[in-house]
């Protein structure tokens, strides 16, 4: 009887972990804005006006 209870508890924990992992995977990813998304940055880079000393 103890083994049956242990199997049920372990199965429940595995199921809860599986559901939690799936809910994390369905979340939309946050978007990182980089230099390619900034046309003014690219324009300044192409003109040599990047203000670096």
pLDDT for residue 14 is more than 80: yes
Number of domains forming the structure of the chain? 1
The answer to whether position 27 is within a domain reads yes
pLDDT of res. 25: 66
The answer to whether position 52 is within a domain reads no
pLDDT of res. 42: 73
**Domain limits at 22?**
2-47
The answer to whether position 53 is within a domain reads no
Other residues' Cβ atoms within 10 Å of the Cβ of residue 44: 13
The answer to whether position 33 is within a domain reads yes
The answer to whether position 28 is within a domain reads yes
Query: What is the residue-wise DSSP string for the chain?
Result: -HHHHHHHHHHHHHHHHHHHHHHHHTSPPPPPP-GGG-HHHHHHHHHT-----
pLDDT digits (tens, 9 = 90+) for 20-51: 888 776 666 776 666 666 777 777 776 765 55
pLDDT of res. 12: 97
pLDDT for residue 17 is more than 70: yes
- pTM for the structure as a whole: 0.46
């Amino acid at each position: 009887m103890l083994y049956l209870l242990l199997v049920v508890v372990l199965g429940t924990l595995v199921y809860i972990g599986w559901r939690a992992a799936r809910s994390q995977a369905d979340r939309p990813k946050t978007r990182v804005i980089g230099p390619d998304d900034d046309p003014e940055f690219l324009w300044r880079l192409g003109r040599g006006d990047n203000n670096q000393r």
